[in-house]
């Protein structure tokens, strides 16, 4: 196969944009799994749920991005409810939460999948807006606008979350609960309330991320399975709980996927999981882990 | 642990299975029966690592799929007979189990779980790109001639699955009562304490991975013969990963009978729902039962039976009765 510079250049630019999108999708997991230690396997299912929520509001006449913003508080409440159930049934009892917690989230994932199939059917769904379908031309390169929109919104989510966690009181409390729950309790703060709040925020990011997902590409009910690999790969590669690392890890994954697609698209599904296995075997604390 | 009763029961079960191949004429009986027995093996195999040691393997379908495709490749290349295919699959499964374990078992349990999910997708992608075994489009299997002492092909495969069930349950029962099982339970309760008391934790976990992988691959091997077809999308299907886990948890993980009961109950429910209503609903049943049982009956069916006093034979006390801290 002859080396094609243009293909490679396109792949890198696309990968960069797509990578920021992957990072945006994984930020919530970085909080839920990275900081709070909740093995949230149903996370990608909530992402797809966000996309279908966006689609539903879109059919009512809303712009997809606006729909994502409208859904954010709904998802915040949903996240808090999820954490309450998880806390009451597993963390509070402290019993064997490993096996049963994982099984619980897997069960939730299937329930969400089937609920989506029952409501929307198995067909692919897509949305359209003024910024979808056109593309920006720079020289000979054409970059679809939908990717640029996803890129910008992704950066906004990442920056907001980063500032929130590092500058605000509650944000710092969330990071404190990740470091030492006992110490926080001694300071007179309630770790469960903080964790619940953080889990709400983690889930809330999925409303907007879900809107991006349906903007970037058509969705289907079982799309969450592909995103188990992508989100966990990004979060583990970044080092648990590192927001800046999440962005870089997302970009690495995006570029790797796009470059491999040049040589054989059928290998693409294995990229995220392959990277994940390599990271786990070689550097389990992640690139930017403590 | 007494074995006489167990072997008498196992022999009786095998004789009944063999006799049924002559007496039952309805092929649907074997169709459903084979699937149920297949899940008994998968759930029992899963429980050896997941139940006794508390390490959750989400990659059952990776092992199952590898078993399927080991059999397909060997059958296509050398036309190996079925027993040798099963044996080869078991060997490959052991190697795969130990290799995965070596990569991730030094880390926290959740990473092992994520790595096993990864294994499913990576191996599926590999098989999709492997033209010799048919790639994404799948491959047709032409069954070789039937051994004369079986009346039908379905009957023979049913008996093969029954034999594998007996092997799997015997292995699980042995592991549970032996030093391996005691070590694994120590790991589940408190790995650090176990390590400090001189329990060879990594070696025990690798042994469990190997045994569990071998059994999962072995039951995959007869599947292409049964389906007369193998396709990566079906062999590596996600429900194959979650069902065994759900069955073990629903049945109860502390005793070997748990996964057997769970597998029979859940697979019967699923078969019934997917035949009468739809396959989506059987997926929903899986999800709902999983969530309900882990929340409301963490000890599974065995725990429920114990509570009402119907089940006393267990030598193993469930570990998490008293709230242990983490």
- Using the beta-carbon criterion (under 8 Å), do A280 and B298 form an inter-chain contact? no
- Check CB contact of B220 with chain A, cutoff 8 Å: no
- 3-state SS of chain A is CCCCHHHHHHHHHHHHHHHHHHHHHHHHHHHHHHHCCCCCCCHHHHHHHHHHHHHHHHHCCCCHHHHHHHHHHHHHHHHHHHHHHHHHHHHCCCCCHHHHHHHHHHHHHHHHHHHHHHHHCCCCECCCCCCCCCEEEECCEEEEHHHHHHHHHHHHHHHHHHHHHHHCHHHHHHHHHHHCHHHHHHCCCCHHHHHHHHHHHHHHHHHHHHHHHHHHCCECHHHHHHHHHHHHHHHHHHCCCCHHHHHHHHHHHHHHHHHHHHHCHHHHHHHHHHHHHHHHHHCCCCCCCC
CB–CB contact A89 B295 (8 Å): yes
Enumerate the residues of chain A whose CB falls inside 8 A of the CB of residue B125: 266-267, 269-270
A contacts of B323 (beta carbons < 8 Å): 93-95
How close is the nearest chain B Cα to the Cα of A64, in Å?
A: 28
pLDDT(A95) > 80: no
The tens-digit pLDDT sequence of chain B (326 residues) is: 678 888 999 999 999 988 888 888 888 888 889 999 999 999 999 999 988 888 888 889 999 999 999 999 999 888 888 889 999 999 999 999 999 888 878 777 788 888 888 888 889 989 988 888 888 888 888 888 887 788 888 889 999 999 999 999 999 999 998 999 999 988 888 888 888 888 888 899 999 999 999 999 999 999 998 888 888 888 888 778 888 988 998 998 888 899 999 999 988 888 888 888 877 787 888 888 888 888 888 788 888 888 887 766 554 444 443 333 33
The verdict on ipTM greater than 0.95 is no
What pLDDT score was predicted for residue B316? 47
A276 interaction partners in chain B (CB closer than 8 Å) = 114-115, 118
* Residue in chain A lying closest to B290 (CA): A107
Domain ranges of chain B: 4-231
The per-residue pLDDT for A94 is 63
Among A149-163, A205-219, B306-320, the minimum mean pLDDT is found in B306-320
**pLDDT tens for each residue of A120-138:** 888 888 888 777 777 777 7
Residues 143-182 of B with CB under 8 A from A: none
- For testing the chain A interface, which of B112, B114, B237, B273 should be mutated: the one with the most A CBs within 10 Å? B114
pLDDT at B313: 57
Mean pLDDT of chain A: 86
**A94 or A78, higher pLDDT:** A78
């Amino acid at each position: 196969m002859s080396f094609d510079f243009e293909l490679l250049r396109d792949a890198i630019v696309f990968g960069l944009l797509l990578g920021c999108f992957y990072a945006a999708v994984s930020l919530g997991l970085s909080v839920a799994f990275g900081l709070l230690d909740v093995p949230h396997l149903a996370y990608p299912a909530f992402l797809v749920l966000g996309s279908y929520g966006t689609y539903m509001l879109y059919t009512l006449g809303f712009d997809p991005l606006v729909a994502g913003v409208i859904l954010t508080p709904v998802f915040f409440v949903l996240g808090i409810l999820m954490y309450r159930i998880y806390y009451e049934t597993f963390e509070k009892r402290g019993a064997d939460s490993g096996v049963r917690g994982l099984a619980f989230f897997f069960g939730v994932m299937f329930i969400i999948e089937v609920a989506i199939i029952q409501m929307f059917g198995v067909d692919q769904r897509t949305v359209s807006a003024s910024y979808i379908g056109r593309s920006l031309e720079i020289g000979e390169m054409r970059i679809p606008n939908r990717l640029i929109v996803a890129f910008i919104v992704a950066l906004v989510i990442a920056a907001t979350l980063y500032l929130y966690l590092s500058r605000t009181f509650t944000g710092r409390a969330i990071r404190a609960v990740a470091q030492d729950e006992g110490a926080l309790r001694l300071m007179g703060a309630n770790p469960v309330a903080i964790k619940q709040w953080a889990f709400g925020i983690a889930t809330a990011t999925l409303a907007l991320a879900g809107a991006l997902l349906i903007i970037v590409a058509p969705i289907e009910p079982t799309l969450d399975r592909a995103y188990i690999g992508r989100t966990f790969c990004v979060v583990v590669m970044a080092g648990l709980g590192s927001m800046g690392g999440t962005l870089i890890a997302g970009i690495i994954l995006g570029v790797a996927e796009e470059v491999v697609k040049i040589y054989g698209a059928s290998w693409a599904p294995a990229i995220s999981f392959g990277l994940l296995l390599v990271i786990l075997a070689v550097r389990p604390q992640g690139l930017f882990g403590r | 642990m007494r074995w006489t009763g167990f072997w008498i029961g196992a022999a009786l079960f095998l004789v009944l299975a063999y006799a049924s191949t002559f007496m039952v004429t309805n092929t649907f009986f074997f169709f459903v029966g084979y699937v149920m027995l297949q899940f008994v093996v998968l759930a029992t195999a899963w429980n050896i690592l997941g139940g006794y040691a508390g390490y959750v393997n989400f990659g059952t379908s990776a092992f199952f799929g590898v078993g399927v495709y080991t059999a397909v490749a060997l059958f296509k290349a050398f036309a190996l007979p079925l027993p040798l295919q099963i044996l080869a699959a078991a060997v490959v499964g052991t190697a795969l189990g130990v290799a995965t374990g070596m990569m991730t078992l030094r880390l926290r349990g959740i990473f092992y779980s994520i790595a096993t999910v990864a294994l499913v997708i990576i191996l599926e992608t590999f098989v999709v790109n492997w033209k010799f075994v048919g790639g994404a489009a799948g491959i047709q299997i032409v069954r070789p001639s039937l051994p004369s002492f079986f009346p039908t092909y379905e009957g023979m495969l049913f008996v093969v699955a029954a034999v594998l069930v007996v092997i799997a349950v015997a292995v699980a029962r042995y592991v549970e009562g032996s030093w391996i099982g005691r070590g694994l339970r120590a790991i589940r309760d408190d790995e650090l304490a176990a390590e400090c008391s001189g329990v060879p934790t990594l070696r025990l976990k690798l042994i469990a991975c190997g045994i569990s992988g071998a059994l999962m691959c072995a039951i995959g091997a007869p599947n292409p013969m049964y389906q007369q077809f193998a396709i990566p999308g079906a062999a590596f299907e996600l429900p194959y990963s979650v069902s065994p886990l759900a069955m073990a948890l629903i049945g109860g993980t502390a005793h070997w009978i748990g996964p057997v009961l769970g597998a029979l109950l859940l697979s019967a429910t699923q078969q019934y729902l997917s035949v009468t209503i739809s396959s989506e609903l059987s997926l929903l049943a899986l999800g709902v039962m999983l969530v309900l049982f882990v929340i409301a009956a963490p000890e599974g069916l065995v725990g429920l039976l114990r509570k009402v006093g119907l089940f006393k034979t267990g030598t193993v006390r469930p570990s998490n009765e008293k709230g242990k801290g983490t």
